[in-house]
Structure formats: structure tokens, C-alpha cells
Structure 1
């Protein structure tokens, strides 16, 4: 297995973990209250979601390309 494949797997798993924690955080009571007043998620939850999506997509690209 080559280095890009290993890095792709790690990025995909790390991105999936970040997305999971971001989605869990977005469903918390405090986050729901903040969203109802501010109309958006908190900065930390937003960064979890953005970072998780970016890492997962990058990992998937590394796995698919040769």
C-alpha cells in the first residue's frame, strides 16, 4: 500500500470522525438555543463540520486517484 493510499484512509476516517462530532454538537440543547437566537451554529461546530467535510473529501480523492 502506497503512502497516498494510507494518507487517504487516515484523512477519510479523521474527516468522518470530525463530521460525526460536529453533527452531535449541532444537536445539543445549547447549540439549538444559540441557533434559534443567532440563526447559525457556533464557530466551533461550524469548524468541525467544515474541517470534517474537507478532510473526508480530500481523503476520498487520494484514495480514488492513482
Structure 2
């Protein structure tokens, strides 16, 4: 029972974190930065990847 609750919480947090990372990635300042330097903010990549990993762990906890 506790593993399922933890899994659901991890999925919700992972999806929220991935969406926040995409929002940072798609922000106006990030687009301007990518246009001039070609670099993407590391916090965008870390939050998107971390969110996907968190959601994957949550899915494995539910099973």
C-alpha cells in the first residue's frame, strides 16, 4: 500500500518537474540565449531529465 502511494507521488512530482523544465527551456530568455550562444540552461535539462527519471521510478513502484 505504501509503495503505491509513494509511486503515485513520484509520478506526479516527476511530471510536474519535467513540465517546469520544459517551461524553462521554452522561455524567452532561454530562446534568446540559444539564438546567440547556442547553449541551453543546464537547469532546464536537469529538471526535464530528473522529472522523467522520477516518473519512471514512480511507475516501477506501482507495479
The two structures have a TM-score, normalised by structure 2, of 0.87
Runs of 4+ in 1 over 3 A off after TM superposition: none
Corresponding residue pairs, total = 63
After superposition, the CA RMSD in angstroms is 1.2
Give 1:14's aligned residue. 13
- Counterpart Cα distance in 2 of 1:37 and 1:53: 29
The answer for unaligned runs of 5 or more in structure 1 is: none
The two structures have a TM-score, normalised by structure 1, of 0.84
